[in-house]
Structure 1
């Protein structure tokens, strides 16, 4: 957690602020091994207060999830006021300090304000920008205070859902979401050129087949977007969009589709337990397998196996 100074001048951590304001951490990706990104869901009390946020090494974004609250921000000797609400974003760019005055909730019918906090390591933003051929050097985010941005909000909520389920959809899905989140920020909230498009790169039929073969050979294990892309010598930041251009679906959707197809074959042709089939085709659990098979076929794995026996 970064250090924050109160208006009384004594530095206190966000953890101590949480305790003082009776805030409760609902969920966190801290123990999930996610690289370059931290996603945490809090329920903050709505008491007024003032904070001075020093320059931080990483980028922090806050997404309000509750009812409107009035905030005043001072950055670079300029005051900004806004009533923030669900769908808005607040950015704490790395390397820039700011002052905040929190007036509290607008309405009086609730006690806590749910908030989503996302920390992005500066080197992750710089790495993605360099891979997208935006040159070298530190990437700076512009000030975004109370911007209403539903597309970014929706990606953030999908990341939060992955935290809630313990990463149920897998590493490939999480990587795709993180990449989409970072690229969206680079396009819309950074100081670099906003038009981010694959330049001089395309996915040949041979590369597509190599990617498919790689996926098929490792369908039962953890698949990484980076590993698939590097295997065919394509930038991971381009691979997902190029793959979708060729196939009409994302790499994650393709992997799920192939795992479901292989699971159905095993259900129809073997007497393996459903939990063992789930493990063999790369699903994290039997319930995960059941969810996707029912979504694809309208039947449960037991019903498919029963048809084979009859």
Structure 2
């Protein structure tokens, strides 16, 4: 089998993706999914050389391919290494020569949103995440794959789920990869009953909207991270699961008491498509919306 040829990446932007300097566009991207503060890209790229980057966001690469050799230039020296499945690079910016085609996930995180998500854990908005090469972190890998799966399912209502994962990732980065000397604070405590009651009321009153986690957290005057942890402690479910449960329950009422079309019911309870509504309805009730209505 002939050795794969490498070529320098074309630096002329071909698209609006954060990684427009790469030879091929991503196989999958959340660029237009409406996720706040994070862009996920799933790539399969040929061997190529990528330029040194001036990072304006926190970047995480999760390698999903077979063992691959690469070279990067560090302080003028060429350093050779290999990536294995599950290896993670955080804020890598050096000029890199990839000697083999590879598959990976890229996560681009807006620093201001990371700081806001972790506002209960640090007393500064200028969070410095330390560069890492070839680290192993099961939680980052799990979150990356969960975001990819959510994007592939085209789930709406997924904005709350995606934001929950993003907030968990932000806090994990601050706790474990923050530069030394930056103060990480302790857990701020539980959710007051009045805020819990208001949060539940807010969710029920806005089921038809494409709610975001940040929107709910702001409504009760809390950070997304603190709200998510405290809400789960109080309710037993994370916000995105509670939101789906409420939507399914409202849909059951509309199926029983109205003659509305199933597509219209899906829209009224906050799902963007009938197919996604049917999938989640089946997951929660073990039947389809039509079968549920016919059984009444």
TM-score, normalised with respect to structure 2: 0.84
1:113 maps to which of 95, 102, 125:
102
Deviation at 1:279, TM superposition (A): 1.1
Q: Is contact 2:62–2:105 with CA below 8 Å preserved after alignment?
A: yes
**Aligned pair in 2 of structure 1 residues 122, 11: CA closer, same or farther (>3 Å)?**
same
5+ residue gaps, structure 1, are: 1-5, 105-111
Inter-partner Cα distance in structure 1 for 2:141 and 2:116: 23
Inter-partner Cα distance in structure 1 for 2:152 and 2:246: 25
Inter-partner Cα distance in structure 1 for 2:7 and 2:276: 49
Q: Is contact 1:290–1:301 with CA below 8 Å preserved after alignment?
A: yes
**Aligned pair in 2 of structure 1 residues 244, 79: CA closer, same or farther (>3 Å)?**
farther
Q: Could you tell me which residue of structure 1 aligns to residue 35 of structure 2? A: 34
**Aligned pair in 2 of structure 1 residues 43, 184: CA closer, same or farther (>3 Å)?**
same
Q: Could you tell me which residue of structure 2 aligns to residue 240 of structure 1? A: 228
Q: Could you tell me which residue of structure 1 aligns to residue 45 of structure 2? A: 44
Q: Is contact 2:36–2:163 with CA below 8 Å preserved after alignment?
A: no
**Aligned pair in 2 of structure 1 residues 264, 303: CA closer, same or farther (>3 Å)?**
same
**Aligned pair in 2 of structure 1 residues 126, 216: CA closer, same or farther (>3 Å)?**
closer
Q: Is contact 1:162–1:169 with CA below 8 Å preserved after alignment?
A: no
Q: Is contact 1:65–1:114 with CA below 8 Å preserved after alignment?
A: yes
2:240 maps to which of 241, 252, 261:
252
**Aligned pair in 2 of structure 1 residues 267, 221: CA closer, same or farther (>3 Å)?**
same
Deviation at 1:85, TM superposition (A): 2.2
Deviation at 1:58, TM superposition (A): 1.9
TM-score, normalised with respect to structure 1: 0.81
1:136-215 to structure 2, matched below 5 A, reads 136-191=124-179, 197-199=186-188, 201-215=189-203
Inter-partner Cα distance in structure 2 for 1:24 and 1:52: 16
**Aligned pair in 2 of structure 1 residues 229, 50: CA closer, same or farther (>3 Å)?**
closer
**Aligned pair in 2 of structure 1 residues 70, 241: CA closer, same or farther (>3 Å)?**
same
**Aligned pair in 2 of structure 1 residues 187, 304: CA closer, same or farther (>3 Å)?**
same
Deviation at 1:113, TM superposition (A): 2.0
1:232-271 deviation line (CA, Å, top 9, x unaligned) = 2222221000000111110111111111111112212222
Q: How much is the aligned-residue C-alpha RMSD, in angstroms?
A: 2.8
Q: Could you tell me which residue of structure 2 aligns to residue 100 of structure 1? A: 96
